Amino acid sequence: MSAVQPIHATAVAQWAPGRGWRAIVVVGPSGAGKSDLALRLIGRGWRLVADDYVHVFASGEALWATAPQTIAGRIEARGVGIMEACARGVVRLVLAVELGEGAPERLPEAETRTFAGRALPLLRLDGFEASAVEKVAAAIARL
């Protein structure tokens, strides 16, 4: 197992029949919509892993995510405040989502993002797009 690497990000997990819980890690600058996207995914049945800071570590060939104890089960809803959320403990990461401003490329080349020495497939999005939730769901379904 690698050392735990805290990163400024949000992570949420989805149950996939036959595959178990699988998580995405959402990265981007402050205000890019990480928590907003997570709240919309949670509204679709996903579970919070961690908001604002995520502990990421490698074990075997996989990457794993968990929340720092001080913020476990809490997510910030901008304009509302800190909210309690149903959360998962340690979950395997399968996808990185990078939020940025402006429209991403229409047909991007495959990319990866490395955490704790392991690469994850990378999806670049505008987190505030109405279709962002569906794009995340489509991307994780391919994995």
Domains and CATH numbers, the chain: 5-141 (3.40.50.300)
Cβ contacts of residue 44 below 8 Å, gap of 6+?
133, 137
Confidence of residue 3 (pLDDT cuts 50, 70, 90): confident
Sequence-ordered alpha helix ranges (H) in 21-131: 34-42
Q: Of 81, 84, 48, which Cα lies nearest the Cα of 66?
A: 48
Bridge partners (DSSP) of residue 65 are 56, 91
pLDDT number for residue 105:
80
pLDDT tens track for 83-113: 999 999 999 999 999 999 777 788 889 999 9
Residue 124 host element (H or E): strand 118-125
pTM (predicted TM-score): 0.94
pLDDT tops 90 at residue 28:
yes
